[in-house]
Each structure stands twice: as C-alpha cells, then as structure tokens.
Amino acid sequence: MPTTIQVSERTRQRLQTLKEREGLKTFDAVIEKMINEELQMPSLFGKATITSWKKTDRMTFHDE
C-alpha cells in the first residue's frame, strides 16, 4: 500500500538525480537501493589488510 512521506525540496532533487543516474523508475526504487546498500552485512572474511609474511613473524619453539 503506497504511503506519502515528506522530504525537503533539496532531498527530492537529490533523489531525482540518483534516480536518473541509476536508471531507476521510482523514488521507492532509489530509497530501496540505498537501504539495501547501507544494510549489507560486512564481509565475513574481514578486511584485506594482511601484510606480507616476515621471518620475524614466525613463532619459535624452544626445547628447554
């Protein structure tokens, strides 16, 4: 069921720009796309910030 929301003229213009840029047909599609992008789960694999391995990174074991 459609509903009406109130937005400022500036917001409406920005939604219109995004709608045209993304080739979407409705403001609802623009808002839905933004929501989906914002709510995406973060990567389960973490960030790719692993540095190259160095010899000093190796664990040492001592038989004492």
pLDDT (mean) for 11-19: 97
CA distance 8 to 19: 16
In this predicted structure, what is the pLDDT of residue 37? 86
The Cβ of residue 30 has, within 10 Å, a number of other Cβ atoms equal to 20
Q: Would you say residue 3 has pLDDT above 60?
A: yes
Give me the residue spans of the domains in the chain: 9-57
Q: What is the pTM of this model?
A: 0.58
Q: Residue 18: its pLDDT value, please?
A: 96
Q: What is the pLDDT of residue 1?
A: 85
Structure token pair of residue 59: 């664990």
Query: Which tens digit of pLDDT belongs to each residue from 18-63?
Result: 999 999 999 999 999 998 888 886 655 665 566 666 677 666 655 5
Could you give the CA distance from residue 24 to residue 17 in angstroms, rounded to a whole number? 10
Q: How far is CA 20 from CA 13, 17, 37, 54, 55, in A?
A: 11, 5, 18, 50, 54
